[in-house]
Structures are given as C-alpha cells and as structure tokens.
C-alpha cells in the first residue's frame, strides 16, 4: 500500500519532504504531487478518484492559508485523509489549522500539527494505518517506537 502526498504549492515541498523521509524509513512507497484545490481543482479530483485503484491506501494533504485541499480530497475519496496545515497566512498557521480541523460531519480529515512536526506525524500515522494489514510495516512501527520515536 502506497501513500499519496498532495500539497497546494511548490513552496510546500521542503516541509512535506519530511513526510516522504519518514515514509521511506518505514519502507512505504509514496509520491509527492503539487495540486492546488483552488488553482488545479480538476487535477486534484483526478488524482484523488484514481488513488485507490493505483494502490494508494492513505492520502496526506498539506496546505496553508485557506487550506481547502485536505477537505476537497476527503470529498472525493473513502481513503483516510491526513491533513497537514502549513504556515503562510496568519502567524503560526492558525488559519490553515482551523480550515482543516473544522470539517463538516461526514467528511473527516485527520488533522496534524502545523508544519514539519505535522508532516512527520502524518507519515507516522499513515504507517500505523498501513501496519494494521501489513506485518512488515507493523514491525517497523514497533522498532520506531522502541527507538524513542526517532528515525
């Protein structure tokens, strides 16, 4: 099972690279794609509706400011969606945090911390989800825990 990492802007890559680094540690294949809910809504839709048939089991969606991407992703899929709020608008990224965490009932987005900590935790949470059905990943998650939650 793979993880799709979507982000709203090219400038988000340095932060979201942390997700990819952690997923590599767990031995989970991932792909990182820039697709904005505002600037590329058709691209987002196509990526998301084709994610599960292409072997993705979890989607990490990161965005700043209005942070519509994680919610839009959730509307198009039944896969777990993990939202990473990014700084870019109000100080500390609180605008993005509120946008992602305040989803309407029935459209869940698991919301992580703002920035790099959230990017790392999104990968760890994705690994824990995948570990439910993959013994090899479960062993790596346990080793991560035994190593003090460090890569």
The CA-based dihedral angle spanning residues 86, 89, 90, 94, taken in that order and rounded to the nearest 10 degrees? -30
Rounded distance between C-alpha atoms, residue 128 and residue 110, angstroms: 13
Rounded distance between C-alpha atoms, residue 119 and residue 111, angstroms: 10
Report whether 95 belongs to an annotated binding site. Answer: no
Q: How many CB atoms lie within 10 A of CB 32?
A: 18
Report whether 42 belongs to an annotated binding site. Answer: no
Report whether 30 belongs to an annotated binding site. Answer: no
Rounded distance between C-alpha atoms, residue 122 and residue 30, angstroms: 12
Q: How many CB atoms lie within 10 A of CB 93?
A: 23
If you count DSSP H runs as helices and E runs as strands, how many of each does the chain have, helices first?
6, 5
- Where is the binding site, in residues? 9, 12, 39
- Where is the binding site for substrate, in residues? 9, 12, 39
């Amino acid at each position: 099972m793979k993880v799709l990492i979507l982000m709203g802007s090219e400038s988000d890559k340095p932060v979201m690279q942390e997700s990819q680094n952690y997923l590599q540690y767990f031995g989970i294949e991932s792909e990182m794609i820039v697709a904005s809910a505002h600037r590329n809504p058709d691209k987002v839709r196509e990526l998301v509706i084709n994610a599960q048939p292409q072997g993705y089991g979890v989607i990490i969606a990161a965005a700043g400011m209005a942070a519509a991407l994680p919610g839009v992703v959730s509307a198009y899929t039944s896969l777990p969606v993990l939202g990473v709020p990014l700084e870019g608008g109000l100080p500390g990224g609180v605008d993005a945090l509120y946008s992602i965490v305040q989803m309407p009932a029935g459209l869940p987005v698991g919301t992580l911390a703002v920035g790099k900590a959230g990017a790392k935790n999104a990968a760890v949470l994705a690994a824990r989800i995948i570990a439910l059905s993959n013994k090899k990943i479960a062993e790596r998650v346990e080793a991560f825990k035994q190593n003090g939650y460090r890569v």
